[in-house]
């Protein structure tokens, strides 16, 4: 038997070294290296059995394409993100900040499925049974036949699951609390989290149950975050949102059985999470239509159009170096648009303080927001109100020209659905649309600037 050896594992990137250091050489993280005993551990897998050495059976790519069997929760937003329901025999990781609502969401899904007659097991490693029961009571789910356990030992969990033959869905809340006897390190360390996740993934494949692992992520790179198991699982979704808003976004970042970049929108209420089937209406809810500096951006989240309001405030700066404050967008992208406005459009804006905000706390990463941002900036600078029934989208290039963006037709259809009557866009792609909306195309940013100059004062 191999001698017990210590290895030093970075808890942030999982790099292994033979001695301790204050800073991980691989990822540059400080104070992230922890000593772990390595007699078995990462990569060693289950103890060797008699079967080892037996050749595996190889097959061809052209086998019978069996559609993955899915269990549909009936929570439409969740099913959309998972690509049409949980896949049997697969593992899904649900990550998110502590307190964001992961346990609430999964308890609601568990109860919905149990009510449909599926066998659902919910294992809570964080909360005692009474706490989960209390939550279920508050959510009005206490009568659903979910099988509940509070346990953190992986071996006990596995034997429980094997005993409960034929579970359809198993929820493990959370992966960070699990520990397995197979490795010696403390719960929550990379080795423990990985070995536990490996064991549960193997269980999913073997038993055909859909396994959902909950994992916490924290901004300060908490020990052994779910990142270290992302490659093992079949799907990774993150639950996001911020404490000051009630809506929550479920976002797929990896999915072996469906599209990524899909989002599901929920609202946290007194009675748990409720689905938001028309998120654009939610984000445009408190719009001030007569204010300057506000432009509605027709954006996309995955395959789904989403309208949001972009707010800009341009104010004379008392400082030598003007302030730039951006919430929900990329600040270097803002600098680029300001430079294009100065250089190609003759707009003197750079010496002002500039504040940019995406309403509702949403984060936008699409370059298609360029035109909406530029429109909001010019509207605030020149004190002109943008037409309240107009949406904006289009990418701006460094030369001052505009570029077509993807999914124009979907954006237009969503805008038309919400009662907008005109769309200010960059060069339009060849996508055909029959949405009842007037399309106004701009070949360059200068044309948009002069158009805004013709609007009425605020």
Residues binding ligand TYD (CB under 6 A): 96, 98-104, 135, 138-139, 268, 270-272
Nearer to ligand TYD, 187 or 208 (CB): 187
Nearer to Mg ion, 103 or 255 (CB): 103
Nearer to ligand TYD, 96 or 258 (CB): 96
Beta carbon of residue 282, minimum distance to ligand TYD (angstroms, whole number) = 17
Beta carbon of residue 91, minimum distance to ligand TYD (angstroms, whole number) = 18
Helix (H, G, I), strand (E, B) or coil at 64: coil
Beta carbon of residue 368, minimum distance to Mg ion (angstroms, whole number) = 35
Nearer to Mg ion, 103 or 379 (CB): 103
The 3 state secondary structure assigned to 152-196 is CEHHHHHHHHHHCCCCCEEEEECHHHCECCCCCCCCCCHHHHHHH
Asked if 240 contacts 264 with a C-beta cutoff of 8 angstroms, the reply is: no
Residue 176 makes contact with Mg ion by CB under 5 A: no
Angle at alpha carbon of residue 46, lines to 42 and 52, rounded to 5°: 120
Spatial distance between the Cα atoms of 227 and 225, rounded to a whole number of angstroms: 5
Beta carbon of residue 249, minimum distance to ligand TYD (angstroms, whole number) = 13
247 phi/psi in degrees, rounded to 5: -85, 155
* Residue whose tokens read 């941002």: 373
Residue 311 makes contact with Mg ion by CB under 5 A: no
Spatial distance between the Cα atoms of 391 and 396, rounded to a whole number of angstroms: 16
Nearer to ligand TYD, 239 or 392 (CB): 239
Report which secondary-structure segment, H or E, holds 115. Answer: helix 102-115
Q: Which of 423, 425, 358 is nearest to 396 (CA)?
A: 425
Residue 104 makes contact with Mg ion by CB under 5 A: no
Look up residue 23 and give its two tokens: 């800073």
Beta carbon of residue 245, minimum distance to ligand TYD (angstroms, whole number) = 12
For residue 174, whether the previous peptide bond is cis, meaning omega lies within 30 degrees of 0, is yes
104 binds, among ligand TYD, Mg ion, none (CB under 5 to 8 A by kind): ligand TYD
100 binds, among ligand TYD, Mg ion, none (CB under 5 to 8 A by kind): ligand TYD
Nearer to ligand TYD, 178 or 284 (CB): 178
Residue 108 makes contact with Mg ion by CB under 5 A: no
Beta carbon of residue 411, minimum distance to ligand TYD (angstroms, whole number) = 32
Q: Which of 457, 267, 327, 283 is nearest to 379 (CA)?
A: 457
How far lies 58's CA from each of 61, 208, 234, 405, in Å? 10, 21, 22, 44
Asked if 45 contacts 196 with a C-beta cutoff of 8 angstroms, the reply is: no
Nearer to ligand TYD, 101 or 426 (CB): 101
Q: Choose the stretch contacting Mg ion; rule: CB under 5 A; options: 50-58, 96-104, 175-183, 245-253.
A: 96-104
Using CB atoms, what's the residue nearest to Mg ion?
Answer: 103
Beta carbon of residue 304, minimum distance to ligand TYD (angstroms, whole number) = 23
Look up residue 281 and give its two tokens: 């209406």
Angle at alpha carbon of residue 144, lines to 143 and 150, rounded to 5°: 100
Q: Which of 11, 32, 90, 103 binds Mg ion (CB under 5 A)?
A: 103
40 binds, among Mg ion, ligand TYD, none (CB under 5 to 8 A by kind): none
Beta carbon of residue 173, minimum distance to Mg ion (angstroms, whole number) = 6
Nearer to ligand TYD, 272 or 293 (CB): 272
Beta carbon of residue 349, minimum distance to ligand TYD (angstroms, whole number) = 41
Asked if 194 contacts 223 with a C-beta cutoff of 8 angstroms, the reply is: no
Helix (H, G, I), strand (E, B) or coil at 244: coil
Nearer to ligand TYD, 70 or 102 (CB): 102
For Mg ion, the binding residues (CB under 5 A) are: 103
């Amino acid at each position: 038997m191999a001698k017990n050896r210590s290895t030093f594992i970075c808890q942030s990137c999982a790099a292994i070294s033979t001695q301790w250091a204050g800073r991980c050489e691989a990822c540059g993280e400080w104070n992230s290296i922890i000593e772990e005993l390595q007699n078995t551990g990462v990569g060693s897998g289950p103890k060797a059995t008699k079967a080892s050495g037996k050749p595996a059976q190889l097959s061809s790519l052209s086998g019978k394409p069996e559609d993955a069997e899915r269990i549909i929760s009936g929570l439409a937003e969740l099913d959309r993100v998972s690509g049409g329901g949980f896949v049997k025999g697969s593992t899904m990781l649900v990550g998110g900040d502590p307190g964001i609502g992961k346990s609430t969401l999964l308890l609601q899904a568990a109860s919905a499925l149990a009510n449909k007659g599926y066998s659902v097991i919910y294992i809570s490693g964080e909360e005692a049974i009474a706490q989960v029961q209390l939550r279920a009571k508050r959510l009005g789910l206490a009568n659903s036949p979910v099988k509940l356990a509070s346990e953190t030992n992986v071996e006990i969990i596995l034997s429980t699951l094997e005993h409960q033959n034929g579970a359809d869905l198993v929820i493990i809340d959370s992966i960070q609390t699990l520990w397995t006897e197979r490795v010696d390190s403390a719960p929550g360390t990379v080795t423990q989290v990985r070995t536990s996740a490996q064991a549960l993934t193997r269980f999913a494949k073997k038993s055909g149950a859909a396994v959902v692992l909950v994992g916490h992520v924290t901004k300060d790179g908490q020990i052994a975050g779910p990142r270290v198991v992302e490659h093992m699982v079949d799907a990774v979704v993150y639950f996001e949102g911020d404490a000051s808003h009630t809506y929550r976004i479920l976002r797929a970042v990896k999915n072996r059985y469906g599209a990524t970049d899909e989002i599901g929108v929920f609202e946290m209420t007194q009675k748990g999470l409720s689905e938001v089937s028309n998120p654009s209406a939610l984000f445009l809810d408190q719009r001030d239509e007569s204010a300057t500096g506000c432009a509605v951006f027709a954006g996309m989240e995955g395959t789904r159009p989403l309208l949001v309001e972009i707010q800009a405030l341009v104010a004379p700066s008392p400082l030598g170096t003007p302030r730039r404050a951006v919430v929900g967008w990329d600040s270097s992208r803002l600098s680029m648009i300001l430079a294009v406005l100065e250089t190609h459009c003759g707009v003197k804006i750079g010496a002002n303080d500039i504040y940019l905000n995406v309403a509702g706390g949403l984060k936008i990463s699409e370059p298609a927001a360029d035109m909406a941002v530029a429109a909001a900036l010019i509207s605030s600078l020149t004190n002109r109100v943008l037409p309240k029934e107009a949406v904006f989208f289009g990418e701006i290039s460094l030369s001052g020209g505009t570029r077509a963006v993807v999914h124009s037709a979907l954006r237009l259809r969503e805008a038309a659905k919400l009662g907008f009557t005109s769309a200010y866009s960059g060069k339009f792609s060849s996508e055909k649309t029959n949405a009842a909306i007037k399309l106004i195309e701009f070949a360059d940013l200068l044309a948009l600037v002069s158009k805004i100059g013709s609007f009425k004062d605020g």
